[in-house]
Amino acid sequence: DEQATAWARIVEFVRGQGAVAGIQLAHAGRKASTYRDWSGRGWVSPEDGGWQPVGPSRVPFEGLAEPRELTPAQIADVVAAFAAAARRALDAGFEVLEVHGAHGYLIHEFLSPLSNVRDDEWGGTLANRARLLLDVVRAVRAEAGPDVPVFVRLSATDWVEPEGWTLEQTQQAAAWAKEAGADLIDVSSGGNLARASIPVGPGYQVPFASAVREAAQMPTSAVGLIVDAKQAEEIIASGQADAVMAGREFLRDPHFALRAAAELGVGDDLLPPQYKRGTWAARP
């Protein structure tokens, strides 16, 4: 509740700038209780203020602690916690909710046979491994109601095929998520295996967004090394995705949205006059 109050101030500021605030809801699973990047690497033990992480099975992420296997009752608690987080987010004023089911966090851990070796209703078949994802989506949708967009982030592949999580499984999971109440699949990849060989390059994950969009017949967003406005515009104009998610480019340039608008000729008057001379070098 204290966090919701703190976030409400940020949401109010975002809305005051004419933008819409969305929030990503996540459970780190077996990748939890780690040092901040600038404080070191690896697991933080209980003696140092950390805790034993949890996961679908007692399969650790490389270099981290062995997780405690969640019981069915604890899995139900996780679903309830996602619902409670969604409710608090809405109370804080967020207008878009995204369920994080990618990058080796808890939902992805249940999806992937590399991290989920259970033999109960939560493991084995694809339908069983996708059960947590779908239960969470339904719970979040129930809190959101019919009008709040609910996105789901999925890793399209573990980059270890055929034994890992694959694009074909992602396509099926996306279709099920659509039935459960998801409006859009935010398509990324990897994160569940430390030593995966990933061919990183400009727009390298865009084909995944396109493939999921076609198979599930639903909107997708593309992510990953999409660094300029014309590249993003081409992805959408060509029908490969319905939206583009950018992160690092906003870290490099907090005025990226204004620069992109100017580059595409849709917002030349958005910059305050006193700032225009300072941005001339970045203008097309």
Answer whether 134's CB lies under 8 Å from 176's CB. Answer: yes
Residue spans of the domains in the chain: they are 2-244, 253-284
Q: Sign of torsion, CA 53 59 64 65?
A: positive
Query: Per-residue pLDDT averaged across 261-276, rounded?
Result: 77
Q: pLDDT band for position 279 (50/70/90)? A: low
| pLDDT value at residue 145 | 98
Q: What is the mean pLDDT of residues 265-278?
A: 72
Strands (E), 150-200: 150-155, 184-188
pLDDT exceeds 60 at position 159: yes
> Is the pLDDT at 23 greater than 60, yes or no?
yes
pLDDT (tens digit, 9 = 90+) per residue, 218-267? 999 999 999 999 999 999 999 999 999 999 899 999 888 888 998 898 87
Residue 58's contacts (CB-CB under 8 Å, 6 or more residues apart) are 66, 67, 68, 69
Q: What's the pLDDT score for residue 93?
A: 98
For the chain, report the end-to-end CA distance as a whole number of angstroms.
45
If one compares 265 and 116, the residue with the highest pLDDT of the two is 116
Give the mean pLDDT of the chain.
Answer: 94
Question: What integer pLDDT is reported at residue 40 of this predicted model?
Answer: 81
CATH: 3.20.20.70, 3.40.50.150, 3.30.1490.190, 1.10.490.10. Which one for 2-244? 3.20.20.70
Active site residue 105: yes
Q: What average pLDDT does range 44-73 have in this prediction?
A: 97
pLDDT for 268: 65
Whether 15 has a pLDDT exceeding 80, the answer reads: yes
pTM metric for this prediction = 0.93
Residues in contact with 197: Cβ distance below 8 Å, sequence separation at least 6, in sequence order: 159
**pLDDT given for residue 188 in this prediction:** 98
pLDDT score at 239: 98
